[in-house]
């Protein structure tokens, strides 16, 4: 019942205030129409300048940088990997990044297939030539 009376009271309030609401709405309709026209013109001008009105604001860029930095820090914290430093000697040991171990005995190494070609022995050809002469 109290809820019903509240809604009833609000109804009376809305009826009394409705002219103000409508006036505010009318003002905003006119204002937004002006904003729309202004933004449309701005969009056209920026389009020919190779820019967009929907590009990130400086504050957005700053926020993205902060978030990226925080994310990178968190990942570094969660996965602590010791980065290999520069090796003093010109030839680092096997197993160092970029220097794999040499093939072990019996280890299969990938290499291109060699195609076999049928060819006559050179001596046979020479003998045939002599017989014809």
Partner 1 sequence: MIPFLIKISENEKRLLLVLLAVVILLFVLIGLLGLVVKRIMTSQAKRADTFMYDLVRTKAVKSPRHFRRVGFKKNHRLLFLQSWIPFLILLVSAAFLITYMAVANHWDLNVFDYFGTDGTDGEGFTTLFFIFDFPNAPKSTFFGIEIVSDWPPIISEPYLSAKAWPSYVFVPIFLTGAIWYIVCVQAFIARTWRILVLSKKAFEKSLENYDATKNPIDNPLPPIQ
CA distance 82 to 33: 59
Q: What's CA 130's distance to the chain center, in Å?
A: 74
Q: What are phi and psi of 56, to 5 degrees?
A: -65, 140
- Pick one of 22, 44, 53, 72: the residue that binds partner 1 (CB under 8 A): 53
- Minimum CB distance to partner 1 smaller for 16 or for 119: 16
Residue with tokens 């290999």: 84
CA distance 122 to 64: 75
CB of residue 44 to partner 1, shortest distance in Å: 13
- Pick one of 54, 89, 91, 108: the residue that binds partner 1 (CB under 8 A): 54
* Interacting residue ranges for partner 1, rule: CB under 8 A: 4, 6-12, 14-15, 24-25, 28-29, 32-33, 35-36, 39-40, 43, 53-54, 57, 59-60, 62-64, 66-67
């Amino acid at each position: 019942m109290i809820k019903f009376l509240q809604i009833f009271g609000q109804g009376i309030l809305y009826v009394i205030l409705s002219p103000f609401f409508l006036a505010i709405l009318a003002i905003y309709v006119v204002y937004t129409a002006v904003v729309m026209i202004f933004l449309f013109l701005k969009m056209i001008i920026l389009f020919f300048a190779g820019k967009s009105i929907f590009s990130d604001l400086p504050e957005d860029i700053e926020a993205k940088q902060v978030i990226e930095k925080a994310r990178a820090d968190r990942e570094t914290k969660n996965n602590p990997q010791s980065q290999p430093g520069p090796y003093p000697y010109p030839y680092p040991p096997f197993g160092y990044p970029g220097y794999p171990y040499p093939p072990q005995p019996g280890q299969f190494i990938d290499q291109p297939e060699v195609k076999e070609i049928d060819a006559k022995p050179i001596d046979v050809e020479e003998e045939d030539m002599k017989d014809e002469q």
